[in-house]
Amino acid sequence: MDTESPSSPDNPLIIQGGMGIGVSNWVLARAVSMSGQLGVVSGTAIDTVIVRRLQDGDVGGHVRTAIEQFPIPGVGESAIRRYFLPDGRPNAAPYKMLPMQKQVVSAARQQLIMLASFVEVWLAKHGHDRPVGINLLTKVQMPNLATLYGAMLAGVDFVLMGAGIPREIPGALDAFAEHRPASLKFDVAGLSAGETESLTFDPRLHFPNASTPLSRPRFLAIVSAHSLATTLARKANGRVDGFIIEGPTAGGHNAPPRGELSLNNLGEPIYGERDVVDLEKVRELGLPFWIAGGVGSPEGLRAARAAGAAGIQVGTLFAYCSESGLAADIKARVLSGVRANGVRILTDPRASPTGYPFKLVEVDGLDSQDERRVRVCDLGYLRTPYRAASGKLGYRCPAEPVDAYVAKGGDVADTVGRRCLCNGLAANIGQPQRRSDGDEKPLVTSGDDLVSLGGFLGGRERYSSTEVIEYLLSQTGASIAGPAV
């Protein structure tokens, strides 16, 4: 194989892709990093994930152990006081909720986000010295700065962000390394010409005694077009260290096709020639890159290396391994569907409130969220801000109750077919909110490769992340790392 770009902890052959909410948790990321590749925790909605772990009794005590290491006094104690239930929720009562994000929130709310991302990264890094990354969605703007600072307090080594254009993130990482404030342009609908809004996070308000600089993580932008890679390499407000080039077969959200949207007979977006990334143009940028989407195989790794990539980013194969955060019953159901050739992947252009196509797993016996769900918006990560007639900022989500969305100036057409990703994805990891009519139902996502996972699975009912890595490396001559301490 092509060995021109050598692999190293900073240039791994395999990146285990970030998978939200809580699918790529600290257990998975730690296992992957300890095997010598790059493990990545998901930082999306990590505050809710952590307070729900506390309310479910924090089995094993991991969250509380990490909380003890948080350097800002009082924050962890207050989270434990408010959310920790030693015996779990009584009679599976509903989870206690966090206040939803807004442009400006209380210091305590910001600190909870910092604490949560600190906990997840600290746990993933605990007991070894190999790099760990965190993944965030650019479009989920409001919690991102506090999440990044919390992750940096835990020494995160890589930040990987897509789903939007993360132009201002590299500069924010530079600022946070020196505990300086950082701002992002806040995307608000309905601003008048020339008007701008921003999101600001100032570490010194929370951690006035911070003196030692933090190490600045490497920043990898996840993109689906070489033009975007070029723009980021030239115009980001700080250093971009590499790219993940993600194609439309990848699990989770996909970039929409370029040009006018046309759909196949299943209602899925049709991708064409214009969506193929020109890797020659990416190579010319001179930065390392990894290919993602449908390349989770030894052949995929080989082809990526031959094309000049440092390696591959893989999601789907890792999502179903024993260490991932997906609920055990969902894993078992989907894997048995795979063995019976009974799974389908639908790329749904409407489901996600973000407006990006989102891949949904369909398998017999998996009771997924559908249009019968009684709409309620109480997690609110995908709410978008708008300028209300009163002049204030309001927040709306096309998956919230239709009347409320329309009353906030939203177009009723935007609400059609939308799913509540926030509650669906929380249900995927065994943290469904309890409603009067039962638990929230899951919304499982995977890449197109799920249907062919049977070849890797063989007769097994389960597999570990180490087995995934051994399989992916099997044509390279590289091997699993020795003990990492």
Ligand X SMILES: Cc1cc2nc3c(=O)[nH]c(=O)nc-3n(C[C@H](O)[C@H](O)[C@H](O)COP(=O)(O)O)c2cc1C
The residue ranges that bind ligand X (CB under 6 A) are: 17-20, 23, 42, 44, 135, 137, 162-163, 222, 246, 249-252, 292-294, 296, 313-316, 319, 445-447, 449
Alpha-carbon distance of 429 to 122, in angstroms, equals: 20
CB of 22 to ligand X, least distance (A): 10
3-state secondary structure of 339: helix
Residue number with CB closer to ligand X (72 or 240):
240
Alpha-carbon gap, residue 470 to 64, rounded angstroms: 33
Least Å distance, CB 161 to ligand X, is 7
How far is residue 436's CA from residue 434's CA, in Å, rounded to a whole number? 7
Q: Is 229 helix (H, G, I), strand (E, B) or coil?
A: helix
Compare residues 25 and 55 and give the one whose CB is closer to ligand X.
25
The pair of structure tokens assigned to 76 is 């962890």
Least Å distance, CB 124 to ligand X, is 15
Q: For residues 24 and 433, which CB has a smaller minimum distance to ligand X in the complex?
A: 24
Cα(429)–Cα(46) distance, integer angstroms: 12
The smaller minimum CB distance to ligand X, of residues 19 and 214, is found at: 19
Query: Could you give the 3-state DSSP secondary structure of residue 363?
Result: strand
Which lies closer to ligand X via its Cβ, residue 44 or residue 110? 44
Taking the least distance from each CB to ligand X, the nearer of 111 and 384 is 384
Min separation Cβ 425 and ligand X, Å: 8
Q: Which is nearer to ligand X, 136 or 199 (CB)?
A: 136
Shortest Å, Cβ 229 to ligand X: 15
In the bound state with ligand X, the residue whose beta carbon lies nearer, of 79 and 163, is 163
The Cα–Cα gap between 210 and 398 comes to 41
CB 76 within 8 A of CB 118: no
**3 state DSSP class of 371:** coil
Closest separation in Å from C-beta 153 to ligand X: 22
CA dihedral 6, 11, 15, 21 (to 10 degrees): 180
Smallest separation, CB 294 to ligand X (Å): 5
Q: Which two tokens stand for residue 465?
A: 């992340």
Please report how close the Cβ of residue 324 comes to ligand X at its closest, in angstroms: 8
Closest CA to 80 of 66, 101, 91: 66
Strand boundaries in 50-196, DSSP class E: 132-137, 158-162, 182-186
**Which residue has the CB atom at the shortest distance from ligand X?**
315
Distances 249 to 80, 109, 135, 289, 359 between C-alpha atoms, Å: 41, 36, 19, 18, 9
